[in-house]
Each structure stands twice: as C-alpha cells, then as structure tokens.
Structure 1
Amino acid sequence: MSASAAHGARRGRAARGGGHEEEHVNHERWLISYSDMITVLMALFIVLFAISQVDQDKYVALRDSLAAGFQDTTTSPSVLDGSAGTMDGTSVVPDTSPAAGTAGMVSADNGLGMQGSEPVPQPQPTTTDTATVDPEVLAAAEREAAHLQELQAMIAANLAANGLDGTVRFRIDERGLVLGLVADDVFFAAASAEMTDTARRVLDVAAPSLVGIGEQISVEGHANVIPVSGRYATNWELSADRATQVLRRLVESDGMPGGRIMAIGFGDTRPLVTDSSPEALMQNRRVDLVVLSAAPEQVRALLPALTAKG
C-alpha cells in the first residue's frame, strides 16, 4: 500500500471515531471520599475517647474552686485556688420557676410608677442540713436571718403598741419575711376587696418599718375555693383586687416607693390549708406581704432552718 493510501485510511478511521479516542474512566474514584470519611470518623472517636477520660479528683477540685470563686469574688484571690467549694449537693434551692395558672398577675401601674413582676411561687419547706454547709454561706445566712427576725420583731412590737397584737401572722421562708394578713373579717369581708378600718391601721403601723428597708415588697392576694359572684367573675379578679388595694394604701398613704412594690393575684391556687373546714376557708382568704430577701439563693435556702431553730 502506498503512503498516500495509508494516510487516507488513518483519516477515515479518525473520521469514523469522531477524531478522538475515548478516555479511560476511573471506577475507583469513590475510594478517595470513603477514605476521607473513615479518617474523619477515626479522628472523632479519638477525640470522644480522649474527653471521656476525666480525672475525678481534678474535676472535683475545679468544681469546688469555681464555686468558691463565684460565691465571693471580693475575697477570693482566684477562682482556681483549690479552696473548698459549696457545690456539694447539700444546699438544694427549691424550684422558683413560675407555676402554671398565673393569669391573675397584676401590673400595678395606675400612674404611680408601680411595676408588675413575674409571680413568685409559694415556697416549700426544706430540710437543709446546716452542719454540712460552707462556713461563709452559713455565716451570710445567719446574718440575713437575724436581719429578718429583727424586722419581724420591730413590726410586731409596733402593732402590739397600737393594740393590734396578733393581727399579722409572721413566717420566714426561702424568699424572705412573710406578713400574713389573714382575712377573717379583720382585713376583708367575704367576696370583697374593701379593706376594713383595722386593715388600714395595720398597714399604717407596719409601713414605716417596711419603707425604711431596701428590699422589694411583693403583695400577694389569695382567695379560698368558694366561687364568687357579682362584681368579680372569678377568684382571680378578687385576689388581684385585694392585693392592689393593699398596694395602693402603702403607696398612696404610707409613703412606700412605687418602684419597690408589686401586686399579684393567685386566686385559690395556693392555699395554706387544703381541707374545706371553716378555719381553712378563713386562712386561705388572705393577703401576704412578702419582704423579698436580696441574699443569694444559697443563703436564702438556709433561712427556714435557721429561723426554725430560733
């Protein structure tokens, strides 16, 4: 075959094949992605294994040091100084998240600067063992308990001097000092938010002691389970109105700063006594004045145990 014939044959084959030979396909390309995935998974498991190996002694020392540092930053030179902490599980603070059924909260504004607030749940008794509490926390709790007991004694003495002894029921719980104005027709008549003359006298006598402190005051209205009719659609409105009337007396007549006080209505959802006796109905128809302690939660959790001893 001549050279020209051979050249023509090659051109013919090239024309029939499109001018280019088909490239070879790499069917093992997926191995690269698979290898990358395996490598990442191996690194992940190595990291998980590494962080799962915790030195218990070092962890406890770090936890206690952080607790001590955040407890009192003014006296602790470092949060990692190895000092004894307070997070040992012995000082348990009860849950203070808002409970269900708080539709009776009153935003006491009325042009007096009185601001509403989230309702404060009724505290439950605690069994805190003060013998196992950090000494600094215990000392702070003892000072706060003494302050609240002194305030209680002052108000009780003023009431007694004005012939009103026994009209207020005092107790100290995790929130602070509670002045219970039990509505056994001394403060409010049944199904009424109109304060009696005795109720106004009690508030006027107690007010100077309450005005002279710096704590916030929560006025909390309660009602018993007997349905109301007439002016109030439900016990929510009745309890909220009672709390508001007490708040207004303290602000408008007794000089309480409006920014330090709030009014809340709880209806019949937080009874002191759960039976249906006349005594229970009387005790649950009440207004509580709560002097809210400004102490930390760890300190406030110890108040019931300390004041019960006294």
Structure 2
Amino acid sequence: MASRRKRHEEEHENHERWLVSYADFITLLFAFFVVMYAISSLNEGKYRVMSSAIMDAFRTGSVIAVQTTPPTGGANTMIEIPQTKPISKAIKSDHHVEETAKLGQLTQNLAKVMGPLVQSGEVTITQTSQGINIDIRDSALFAVGQAEPNQQSLPLMSNMAKLLADVDNSIKVEGFTDDAPIRTPAFPSNWELSAARAGGVVRLFQESGISPQRMVAVGHGANLPVADNATADGRARNRRVTISVQANNQDAAASEPAAATPTPNEVKP
C-alpha cells in the first residue's frame, strides 16, 4: 500500500515549471534593456567636445582629430574632419564674385555715358578690388579758380548720378589741386578750393537722387599729386576730382580707395 502511494507521488506532473523559464526570460530582458539604455545615454562632455570640433572645422577648414574617453571606461572615440572649404569663406567668395560683376557692369555703363571725355583724356575710369575710381580733370567741371560746376558739365553729372543711384555702394568724392597758391575771398588756399569742389559734386549728386548718407566729400589741396607740378600738363592732371564707388566687400571696407596708380580694367582713351 505504501509502495503504491510512493509510486503515485513520483508520477505526479508539475504544471508550474514554466514559471521558472518565464522568470529567467524576464530577467534577461530586463538586463538587455539596462544595457541598451546605458549605451544610448548621452555623454554631455563628449557631445560638447564633438560639437566644438565640428564648428572649428567649418570655420578653418583644417583637419582635426578629437579623442574622448568615456568616464565608464569604454572605447575611445576618434572624430576626423577632412579639409574642406569653410562655409563662411565660401559665402564671402560668392558675395565677392557678385560684387565684382556688379561693379564691372557699372564701369561699362559709366564708360558709355562719359565716352567723349574718356576719349579726350579728361576722364579716366578704373575698376580695382576696392571699387571704381573716376578721375575727372577740373577743366571738364569747373572754371578756373571756381568750385561751382559749369553748365556744360551738368548733363554729364546728371547721367552719372542716375547710374550711381541704381547701386547701394558708398561714394567718396575727393578734390585735388596743383601747387599754385590761390588767395581769394572765397578760397584763401587750395584746401578750401579742393574741399568746395568735392562738396559741389556731392551736392549735385544729392539733388539727382543719391542718398546723402552714402556720400562723403574730402578736400586734399595740393597733396597726393599724380603728376609733376613742374609742367603745365602735370599741373592739369593734378587739378582733378576723384569719385570713388567703394566695393561692398568686408575686406575692402576696412581700407580706403587706392590713391596710387590703379590696376586692371582701366578705361583709357
């Protein structure tokens, strides 16, 4: 009787063994998600280093390597940025190309408007990296010893002003004289004469619609000659007004228009 009862207990089947496997599965699943969370958690220090490195690479265009060591002792991370053209420099380069093209077109238009004076040598138009320089001899604008533009020059100045009004560049008007002294009630010296001539051109431009905020008038007197005052031709070349249309480039804005002999794209007679 006892033997039958023992055999019956041994043959009894346990229907709850699946709980053990289920518990093991849940434990492994929990461990898996813990590991995934640990891997995906953001390391703030590493992120800042990487962000700074990328920004420096775009600014300078150089090759840099950033090595970071996670505080948990994991593998090092190496970030390499290949040498590329910096974005800021690319934008500046595109702007420079557009500005050069715009000023080139303006130079051609000015040459057409002032064609006869360019052919006679009374006007010289030069485009440089800093803008456009328009040198006009005083004989094309003023009577001897006077600062009021003559009637013959008014159509010229009006047509020039129409072209300059279509752009937004700053305009600098400079007056120059020869070294012959002048002493009149209106102009005690060449300083006053050169400044008054520059101011007269600026006033005509303003009356033709050019914003006064874009313009400045400067008188140099007999300083900065472009020829020898010992000859009549040299003195005639030194008595001039220079109109500078300054390029809207950041690099050019920091410097003054060149007073020396200009370079390419000079319109000659």
TM-score band by shorter chain is: 0.5 to 0.7
Q: Would you say the 8 A contact 2:131–2:247 is kept in 1?
A: yes
Q: Would you say the 8 A contact 1:65–1:81 is kept in 2?
A: no
* More strand as a share of residues: 2
Letter in 2 for 1:265: G
- Report deviation, 1:213: 0.7
| DSSP-derived class of the 2:140 partner | coil
Structure 1 unaligned segments of length 5 or more: list them: 1-61, 70-79, 86-133
Equivalent runs, 1:4-153 vs 2, <5 Å: 66=59, 82-83=83-84, 140-153=95-108
- Report deviation, 1:67: 5.2
Offset from partner CA, 1:207-247 (integer Å, 9 cap, x none): 11001111111111111111111131211111000001111
1:239 matched residue in structure 2: 194
In the alignment, which of 177, 181, 185 is matched to residue 132 of structure 2?
177
Using the size of structure 1 for normalisation, the TM-score is: 0.51
- Structure with max Cα Rg: 2
In the alignment, which of 267, 271, 275 is matched to residue 225 of structure 2?
271
Q: Would you say the 8 A contact 2:179–2:229 is kept in 1?
A: no
Equivalent runs, 1:288-299 vs 2, <5 Å: 288-297=242-251
Q: Relative contact order (alpha carbons < 8 A, sep ≥ 6): 1 or 2 greater?
A: 1
Alpha-carbon distance in structure 1 between the residues aligned to 2:56 and 2:253 = 19
- Report deviation, 1:140: 4.9
Alpha-carbon distance in structure 2 between the residues aligned to 1:140 and 1:220 = 27
Structure 2 unaligned segments of length 5 or more: list them: 1-54, 63-80
> Is the alpha carbon distance of 1:81 and 1:192 closer, same or farther for their aligned partners in structure 2, counting shifts above 3 Å?
farther
* More helix as a share of residues: 2
Alpha-carbon distance in structure 2 between the residues aligned to 1:299 and 1:83 = 27
Letter in 2 for 1:195: P
Number of residue equivalences: 185
| DSSP-derived class of the 2:209 partner | coil
Alpha-carbon distance in structure 2 between the residues aligned to 1:248 and 1:299 = 24
| DSSP-derived class of the 2:241 partner | strand
Q: Find out whether 1:186 has 2:140 as its counterpart.
A: yes
Identity percentage over the alignment?
23
Q: Find out whether 1:219 has 2:173 as its counterpart.
A: yes
Q: Would you say the 8 A contact 1:174–1:300 is kept in 2?
A: no
Using the size of structure 2 for normalisation, the TM-score is: 0.58
Letter in 1 for 2:218: I
- Report deviation, 1:264: 1.0
